[in-house]
């Protein structure tokens, strides 16, 4: 479990793929504290299991599904990545609930400064966009952000100076691919309300009247 509050930006040292799977090595410092082999670290929002630890970095395996769903398979040596260790039980919950399981990717369309903030517009697929709501939460490359606007093909977030300084987001440019994780609450609600594939019959028994009756 993660919160989307980035602890540091690391740097990709090497990605070695055999087909669509392989290993990634990342230079890091802070996230190595108290980390052991087998622990989870979110890399650009992707939950990875640490397989090796050195004095200034760690290594993790990446599966074919990881490459299909995220931007890690497109990474190269020198790229900056956002890093967060799994949330400690006694830690503060500063962001929102994030699983580290990426739903898909988006493409940065524009970055526009407005006084002390920067508006970032991201285009993405309809199946991801339908679960994004204005003033809700979205994970972009592992960063917990508040959705400012939602359009038909894209959404926008407004990035405060601290987030810009502590993450790699504002170092990206239009055309760059980012990882997206929808709010997990929205995904569970959609699933409970019934199947979403074409021609599927929704027979869960959960209706708006049922929800109102139970105060939801």
pLDDT at residue 56, rounded to an integer: 97
Based on the fold, state whether residues 79 and 109 are members of the same structural domain.
no
Based on the fold, state whether residues 31 and 80 are members of the same structural domain.
yes
pLDDT per residue as tens, the chain (216 positions)? 999 999 999 999 999 999 889 999 999 999 999 999 999 999 999 999 999 999 999 999 999 999 999 999 999 999 999 999 999 877 778 889 999 999 999 999 999 999 999 999 999 999 999 999 999 999 999 999 999 999 999 999 999 999 999 999 999 999 999 999 999 998 988 888 876 555 555 555 667 777 777 676
Radius of gyration of the chain from Cα atoms?
18
pLDDT at residue 190, rounded to an integer: 84
CATH code (residue 117): 2.40.30.20
Query: How many structural domains is the chain composed of?
Result: 2
Based on the fold, state whether residues 72 and 111 are members of the same structural domain.
no
Based on the fold, state whether residues 112 and 186 are members of the same structural domain.
yes
**99 within domain boundaries:** no
**15 within domain boundaries:** yes
The domain in which residue 76 lies consists of 8-85
Please state the three-class secondary structure of the chain as a single string: CECCCCCEEEEEEEEEEECCEEEEEEECCHHHCCCCCCCEEEECCEEEEEEEEECCEEEEEECHHHHHHCCHHHCCCCCEEEEEECCCCCCCCCCCCECCCCCEEEEEEEEEEECCEEEEEEEECHHHHCCCCCCCEEEECCEEEEEEEECCCEEEEEECHHHHHHCCHHHCCCCCEEEEEECHHHHHHHHHHCCCCCCCCCCCCCCHHHHHHCCC
pLDDT at residue 63, rounded to an integer: 95
Based on the fold, state whether residues 23 and 80 are members of the same structural domain.
yes
Based on the fold, state whether residues 113 and 80 are members of the same structural domain.
no
- Measured between alpha carbons, how far is 102 from 51 in angstroms, rounded to an integer? 20
pLDDT at residue 200, rounded to an integer: 53
Based on the fold, state whether residues 128 and 176 are members of the same structural domain.
yes
**97 within domain boundaries:** no
**46 within domain boundaries:** yes
**157 within domain boundaries:** yes
**28 within domain boundaries:** yes
Based on the fold, state whether residues 52 and 118 are members of the same structural domain.
no
Last residue of a domain, one of 26, 51, 85: 85
**201 within domain boundaries:** no
Q: What is the pTM of this model?
A: 0.87
pLDDT at residue 110, rounded to an integer: 97
């Amino acid at each position: 479990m993660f919160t989307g509050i980035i602890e540091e930006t690391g740097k990709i040292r090497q990605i070695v793929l055999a087909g669509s799977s392989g290993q990634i090595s990342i230079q890091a410092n802070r996230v190595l504290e108290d980390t052991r082999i087998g622990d989870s670290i979110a890399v650009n929002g992707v939950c990875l299991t640490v397989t090796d630890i050195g004095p200034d970095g760690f290594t993790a395996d990446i599966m074919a599904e990881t490459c299909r769903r995220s931007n890690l398979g497109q990474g190269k040596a020198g790229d900056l990545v956002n890093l967060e260790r799994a949330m400690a039980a006694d830690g503060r919950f500063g962001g929102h609930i994030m699983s580290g399981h990426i739903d898909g990717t988006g493409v940065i369309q524009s970055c526009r400064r407005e006084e002390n903030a920067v508006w970032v517009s991201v285009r993405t697929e309809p199946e991801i966009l339908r679960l994004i709501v204005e003033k809700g939460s979205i994970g972009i490359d592992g960063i917990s952000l508040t959705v400012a606007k939602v359009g038909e093909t894209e959404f926008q977030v407004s990035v405060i100076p601290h987030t810009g300084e502590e993450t790699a987001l504002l170092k990206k440019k239009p055309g760059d691919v980012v990882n997206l994780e929808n709010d997990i609450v929205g995904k569970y609600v959609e699933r409970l309300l019934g199947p979403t594939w074409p021609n599927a019959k929704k027979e869960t028994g959960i209706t708006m009247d049922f929800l109102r009756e139970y105060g939801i």
